[in-house]
Amino acid sequence: MTLKLHNTLTGNTDDFVSREPNKVSLYTCGPTVYDYLHVGNWAAYIYWDILVRVLAANDFAVDRVMNITDVGHLVSDADEGEDKLEKGAQREGKTAWEVADFYSQDFLKNSDRLGLVTPQHIAKATDFIPQQLELVRTLKAKGFTYQIDDGIYFDTSKFPTYADFAHLNLEALQAGARVKFNPQKRNHSDFALWKFTPAGEKRDMEWQTPSDLLEARRVATSGAAPDSADATSGRESGADSSTGPASVMGFPGWHLECSAMAMSILGETLDIHTGGIDHIPVHHTNEIAQSEAATGKRFSNYWLHNNHLKVDGTKISKSLGNGYTLDDLEKKGFMPQDYRMFVLQSHYRTEGNFTFDNLTAAKNRLHNWHNSAALRHQIHDTLHDDDNRGVDDKAVSLYATSRALVEALSNDLGTPEALMIIDEAFSRLASAKLESIHRHALVELLETIDDTLGLQLLGNSPDISDDAKRLIIKRTQARNNKDWSQSDTLRDELLDQGIIIRDTLGGSVWEYAA
């Protein structure tokens, strides 16, 4: 089986070939932890969870980094505006460190509740400051950086393929952005690698800028930004440049964080890098430029991007208050797994639309699947399962379903097709006689669904109690005796225990009440 993935780098759905056989290094751009994640953010992480699971199903050992951006992500991706963490701190009357810690914990807790596979490395940007400064040092030594009043910038004109990844028209961007253009920047697309704490300000999160990274042109004044200087000409300003560079506090740019963490943990070339489509023109374009400028090697062989989720057909935005959190959904009676099912119903490259009707449909589908999974408690094990593989038609089709499911997912994470394959198999079971269902094949299918889609069907479809089973037997006897009133009483007793009975041609089947 070949695994096919849509690679933004080539624009094609390509056969996936890893750098080393059966091993994959994977980097996922993680959350900025200044607030609760909304349903759109969670959709992204659910899709990348499917990628990890499908890689495993294709016999790859995955080494994965997910970052946590706890500093440096400014309100505007173009290096302007406040740091989202510092802004969150003001909003909540806490320090940026407290805000980062609180929302990181919340992210990890809810990742667990959604059944997201825990990455091998969860990397906080604030834990990788030396690695980020080292990358700036390398870029400076290679002549890719320049310094202006508010920080050290990457000169994108020195990286000739800068526009390629996102097919940018730099001239048009430059012309269109004249108003907002920081006049000290050499090119509109240049971005901050390291920003200075503004003069007279004290940030919660700031680090000493190493003196060798600074232009030697001003007197040291702790906490102050360098003097305004015409960095492009290299002209030094300040009264006494002979005293050496200033002591300047600063913090990393968001793009720098991802490159430094990815390369320091996984190496200079990754197999796969993932993120949202919003990352293509700026964040990932900048990651590629600075990483490849530093190493001279390709940064990642495959780039995967998820499309965005809308809510009621509208972009998710704070001002509209439509950025529902998992807690919001739970208050309305939806569990994290219902939301996972909702996300899987759309392909990761199509634009999703969240509505409570769509979520209800997903919840109902998952409920039906729990009932199909519960059939395994109602069938006897067949001995010599292996001998039956080629004989039992129903079993053969279930084994084939497991394979078809992995194949659909291996075709660029085809989750909607995978769900349809499962629906078809389960509807065949619903009309089958219980004794014709091959228990081992059913269990194997359920395991495959749980492994690849993370829906936790086995864990969420428990057997009923012996007491309930006795009631079912009594009810069957009452029906056989045509004692309808006794049969109805027993049916109600079962319903009180959350169990309904479906009478089929092949006998009675119990199900969980909705």
State the minimum distance, in angstroms, from the CB of residue 267 to ligand AMP: 22
Residues in the chain: 514
The smaller minimum CB distance to ligand AMP, of residues 340 and 439, is found at 340
C-alpha 248/C-alpha 229 separation (Å) is 15
State the minimum distance, in angstroms, from the CB of residue 265 to ligand AMP: 18
Signed CA dihedral, 141, 145, 146, 149: sign only: negative
What is each CA distance from 389 to 383, 439, 450, in whole angstroms?
11, 11, 22
The smaller minimum CB distance to Zn ion, of residues 274 and 452, is found at 274
The smaller minimum CB distance to Zn ion, of residues 121 and 389, is found at 121
Considering CB distances under 5 to 8 angstroms, the limit depending on partner class, which of Zn ion, ligand AMP, none binds residue 44?
ligand AMP
The CA-CA-CA angle for residues 154, 157, 159, to 5°, reads 75
E strands, 191-259, in order: 191-196, 207-208, 249-252
Q: Is 252 in the site for ligand AMP (CB under 6 A)?
A: no
C-alpha 78/C-alpha 68 separation (Å) is 19
- Which DSSP state fits 145? E
State the minimum distance, in angstroms, from the CB of residue 274 to ligand AMP: 8
Considering CB distances under 5 to 8 angstroms, the limit depending on partner class, which of ligand AMP, Zn ion, none binds residue 114?
none
Considering CB distances under 5 to 8 angstroms, the limit depending on partner class, which of Zn ion, ligand AMP, none binds residue 316?
ligand AMP
Considering CB distances under 5 to 8 angstroms, the limit depending on partner class, which of Zn ion, ligand AMP, none binds residue 258?
Zn ion
CA 107 vs. chain centroid, Å, equals 11
State the minimum distance, in angstroms, from the CB of residue 29 to Zn ion: 3
Closest CA to 334 of 368, 358, 307: 358
Q: Which of residues 287-306 bind ligand AMP (CB under 6 A)?
A: 306
Binding mask 321-360 for ligand AMP (x = CB under 6 A): ----------------------------------------
Interface with ligand AMP (CB under 6 A), residue from 316, 409, 441, 455:
316
Number of residues this chain uses to bind ligand AMP (CB under 6 A):
15
Q: Which of residues 257-276 bind ligand AMP (CB under 6 A)?
A: 275-276
**DSSP letters along 243-312, please?**
G-----EEEE-HHHHHHHHHHHHH-SSEEEEEEEGGGIIIIIHHHHHHHHHHHSS-SEEEEEEEPPEEET
Considering CB distances under 5 to 8 angstroms, the limit depending on partner class, which of ligand AMP, Zn ion, none binds residue 151?
none
Long-range contacts from 167-170, C-beta under 8 angstroms, 24+ separation: 168/281, 168/285
Any idea of the CA torsion for 125, 128, 134, 140, to the nearest 10 degrees?
10
Within 13 Å and on the Cβ side, how many CA atoms surround 206? 22
The smaller minimum CB distance to ligand AMP, of residues 318 and 384, is found at 318
Residue 413 burial by CB count (10 A; 0-12/13-18/19+): exposed, middle or buried?
A: buried
Interface with ligand AMP (CB under 6 A), residue from 134, 149, 268, 278:
278
State the minimum distance, in angstroms, from the CB of residue 323 to ligand AMP: 8
**SS3 for 4?**
strand
State the minimum distance, in angstroms, from the CB of residue 45 to Zn ion: 13
Backbone angles phi, psi at 119, to 5 degrees: -65, 155
Q: Which of residues 28-67 bind ligand AMP (CB under 6 A)?
A: 29, 31-32, 40-41, 43-44
Considering CB distances under 5 to 8 angstroms, the limit depending on partner class, which of ligand AMP, Zn ion, none binds residue 276?
ligand AMP
Give the footprint of Zn ion on this chain (CB under 5 A): 29, 258
Q: Which residues pair with 23 in a beta bridge?
A: 20, 61
State the minimum distance, in angstroms, from the CB of residue 28 to ligand AMP: 8
Interface with ligand AMP (CB under 6 A), residue from 53, 124, 195, 279:
279
Element (H, E) at 186: none
The smaller minimum CB distance to ligand AMP, of residues 148 and 316, is found at 316
State the minimum distance, in angstroms, from the CB of residue 48 to Zn ion: 12
State the minimum distance, in angstroms, from the CB of residue 88 to ligand AMP: 12
C-alpha 422/C-alpha 455 separation (Å) is 12
* Binding residues vs ligand AMP (CB under 6 A): 29, 31-32, 40-41, 43-44, 275-276, 278-279, 306, 308-309, 316
